Amino acid sequence: MEELKRKAACEAVKEIKDGMIVGLGTGSTAKYAILKLGEMVKEGLDIIGIATSLESERIAKQVGINVADINEYDSIDITIDGADQVDDNLNLIKGGGGALLREKIIASCSKREIIVVDESKIVSGFSFPLPVEVVKFGWKRTAEKLAKLNFKPRIRHGFVTDNGNYILDCEYDKLENVEEMEAEINNLPGVVENGLFIGLASEVIIGKKEGTEIMRKIK
């Protein structure tokens, strides 16, 4: 599986050119992209990276990528990130690594959002527990409100996000009307952001045993 992740990541970085502002995703597959970009920087590639997590920032600096603050730039040329699941419409569930808030901010500021996954992440219907980032204050009351939306939330024990918040991993029987659900969850007091990424992915590069496959957004 690691080889499939590496294939997808290496295909994605071919899109990166000199002078680009590049969003650096979080997670095992995105890490391969950061490491490959580090090799390309050593060979002369000139880019600026915007990291989606403290961990990705640490890795990027370690491999020689110049990392900047998102507040310094109006937009990002390309972001390369992973996903926990991808459906047929290029909608995503993200946040298994706990970086969903920064990932969504950066995705929303990106001209292109390239998602890199192995083939096991492609699904016809979501099943991965939906991560929801919530403030610490009153998190149990927020969990009760999520339960009223037919979720079964459980706190991610021992985990605090880079933003100082908690993650509630929400199980469900079936996830439908995802665009409306994304908005409904975010409208709950105490919710900071949720892991439904709707309409943000430009393309998905899938690592397969026989190579890579690209799914693109239909305009």
**Residue at 218 is within a domain:** no
**pTM as predicted:** 0.95
Tell me, what amino acid is at 161? T
Which residue range(s) make up the domain with 25?
2-123+198-209
- Calpha distance 134→131 (Å, rounded): 10
156 and 114 co-located in one domain: no
Sign of CA dihedral 116, 121, 122, 125: negative
Q: Which residues of 132-154 are buried (b: 16+ CB within 10 A; e: fewer)?
A: bbbeeeebeebbebbeeeebebe
186 and 203 co-located in one domain: no
Residues 90-149: tens digit of each pLDDT? 999 999 999 999 999 999 999 999 999 999 999 999 999 999 999 999 999 999 999 999
- Do residues 13 and 80 touch, judged by C-beta distance below 8 A? yes
55 and 137 co-located in one domain: no
Domain count, the chain: 2
**Residue at 205 is within a domain:** yes
**Residue at 217 is within a domain:** no
Residues 157-192: tens digit of each pLDDT? 999 999 999 999 999 999 999 999 999 999 999 999
List the catalytic residue out of 11, 57, 103, 113.
103
CATH code of the domain covering residue 74: 3.40.50.1360
CATH code of the domain covering residue 174: 3.30.70.260
Residues 6+ apart with CB under 8 A from 72: none
Active site residue 103: yes
147 and 169 co-located in one domain: yes
Residues 6+ apart with CB under 8 A from 44: none
